[in-house]
Amino acid sequence: MIKTFKPLNTIKTQKQGEINLNNDRIKQLDGGTTSSRPAMNIAAVMPDYDQKMAAIDQKNLDEKNELTEKNALNNQLISAIDSKIAQLENEKKSNPANSDAINKDIQTLQNIKSQKQGEVNANNERIKQLDGGVTATRSAITISSIMPDYDQKMAAIEKKNLDEKNELTEKNALNNQLISAIDSKIAQLENEKNQILQMQMRLIKTFKLYKISNLRNKERSMQTMNVSNNLTVV
């Protein structure tokens, strides 16, 4: 159960990070800082990522093939991130005065890469379970398992061709919806965990009472036998 919470908290942290970066960029735009670097995000590295992820969701594939296709797409994104980081490192060498802003972009990309690599790893674990015939185990926790239409909605925002501020605002609204859905899921899992613990405690208590009762019955039986033996001797 604890392992189930970890991917949820990881997704929540990553999306909250995206919201914070977008809010920083919106403040820049409101302050007239339109010449500064645009927010670094998945769309800046792989513009059609959300559309491709949404397309996979719409295929209605079996679980293994869906996870396999999502892993392939995420690996493409990770490769694109590595290329972008290399490009930014070169930019930093040629423009050292802008190192702070460039380092911030690199860190953002590293965070996205870590989150996506985590999704790939979790999907691979689930694929191993499916290959081993373990179909009753919980499916890997992903964004689509919490909010099935998230990728479609994000792709729809990308297709609107909004100005930067409105696009970031709509993406923040969607990510806040996702975070709320994650919080609800965590609360549901906490309740489920508590119910399991309560059931385990009841079973332990029942077993303990059974053992006590069984021991007392044996003691009574021994006492009866001793009385009977004493009467026989007399």
What is the pLDDT at residue 227? 62
Report residue 152 as tokens. Answer: 């479609």
Higher-pLDDT residue of 38, 165:
165
List Cβ neighbours of 89 (8 Å cut-off, separation of 6 or more): 106
Identity of residue 30: D
Q: Is 130 exposed, middle or buried (0-12, 13-18, 19+ CB in 10 A)?
A: middle
What SS3 class is residue 95?
A: coil
pLDDT at 174 over 80: yes
pLDDT at 220 over 50: yes
> Count of CB atoms within 10 A of residue 104's CB?
14
Ordered by start, the domain boundaries in the chain are 2-194
What is the pLDDT at residue 2? 45
Mean pLDDT of 20-41: 78
Mean pLDDT of 172-190: 93
List Cβ neighbours of 103 (8 Å cut-off, separation of 6 or more): 92
Task: Tell me the whole-structure pTM to 2 decimals.
Answer: 0.64
